[in-house]
Amino acid sequence: MLKLYKLNYIHREITEDVEPLFIEKIGKETIKTKKNVISFINFLGKLLSFTFYLVIHPSKIRFKAIINQIEIAAIPIIPIIALALFLVGFVTAYQGAEQLNKFGASIIVIEMSTMSMFREIAPFLAAVIVAGRSASSYTAQIGTMKITEEISAMKTMGFEIDIFLIIPRIIALVIVMPLLVFFADMASLLGEMVISKYHLGISYTQFIDRIYQYVEIRHILLGIFKAPLFGILIAIIGCYRGLQVRSGTDIGTYTTKAVVDSIFWLIIINAIISLISIQLGF
């Protein structure tokens, strides 16, 4: 036993884990970020190429999958958006009326809160709610398919993942988001009407007449114009994070990243569109 041990013994020096230097950490994070950016650009490039392919060959579009994704993404989230935007419209109009009442101009709160709701608050909050639900759902679904090797099996059988899994989800959110934003606009408008009726004594007919006179259609069109861009952003980030999953423990991590990244880029895109629209006078 001793001879066998001596023959197979390999001496290894006991080394202590050394904390990497700050510059080394920066370098590693820079390299990691570079790889992630290149990977995301490759993902977008493939997605665009398959999108053009489907434009040329519309028979390859999976309409049943799109309808199924529309049902999953839209119907369960409608009550959440309705309640959330009703309360936000209610509170926004109430706070605005309280502040403007000090100057004797509380009636102005109708067009002020309505314009801000249509242009900024309702589209953004609806997109955040969809991001919290759909982006995380896409990441978890695609990540689970990767772990169970369903995606590998599809690739082996010659199916393109972008056409079968990703593009139907993107198209579904592009269709759904303008409808959800319009629904969010109406829910917030209802909240404003209720508080105006019971706090300011303005009847529903007077409320609607004032909106008709002072709130232009461009305000609601701007919010609806943002919606498809928000849908594309949420779907792409959710699917991309799902494809990054490598093991079962990664699902929670990448699901969280999908939601955080979606909300972060929603803020940036919303700010850019708002600045451009102001500069163009829209």
Q: How far apart are the first and last CA of the chain?
A: 87
* pLDDT tens digits for range 205-223: 888 888 888 878 888 888 8
Q: Is residue 40 part of a domain?
A: no
72 part of a folded domain: no
Range of the domain at 109: 78-280
Structural domains of the chain, count: 1
Structure tokens at 60: 């390859």
The answer to whether 110 touches 238, Cβ cutoff 8 Å, is: no
Domain-embedded: residue 253 = yes
Tokens found for residue 191: 């909240």
What average pLDDT does the structure give for the chain? Answer: 84
Please indicate, yes or no, if residue 26 is contained in any of the structural domains.
Answer: no
Q: What is the pLDDT of residue 11?
A: 64
Tell which phi-psi region holds residue 281, choosing left (phi > 0), alpha (psi between -120 and 50) or beta.
left
Residue 145 lies in a domain: yes
Q: What is the pLDDT of residue 263?
A: 92
Each residue of 104-148: pLDDT tens digit? 666 777 778 888 888 888 899 999 999 888 888 888 888 888 888
Residue 107 within any structural domain of the chain: yes
Residue 14 confidence (pLDDT) = 59
pLDDT for 201 equals: 78
Is 238 domain-assigned?
yes
Q: pTM higher than 0.85 for the full model? A: no
User: What integer pLDDT is reported at residue 267 of this predicted model?
Assistant: 92
Contact by Cβ (8 Å): 112, 96 = yes
Instruction: Report if residue 16 sits inside a domain.
Output: no
Query: What's the burial of 55, exposed, middle or buried (CB within 10 Å: 0-12/13-18/19+)?
Result: exposed
Per-residue pLDDT in tens (0 to 9) along the chain, 282 residues: 878 777 777 666 655 666 777 788 888 888 888 888 888 888 888 888 888 888 888 888 888 888 888 888 888 888 898 899 889 888 888 887 777 776 666 677 777 888 888 888 889 999 999 988 888 888 888 888 888 888 888 888 877 888 888 888 899 999 999 999 999 989 988 888 888 888 777 778 888 888 888 878 888 888 888 899 999 999 999 888 888 888 777 788 888 888 998 999 999 998 898 888 888 877
CA distances from 118 to 181, 221, 225, 253 (A): 9, 8, 11, 34
In this prediction, residue 128 carries a pLDDT of 92
Does residue 181 contact residue 126 with C-beta atoms inside 8 Å?
A: yes
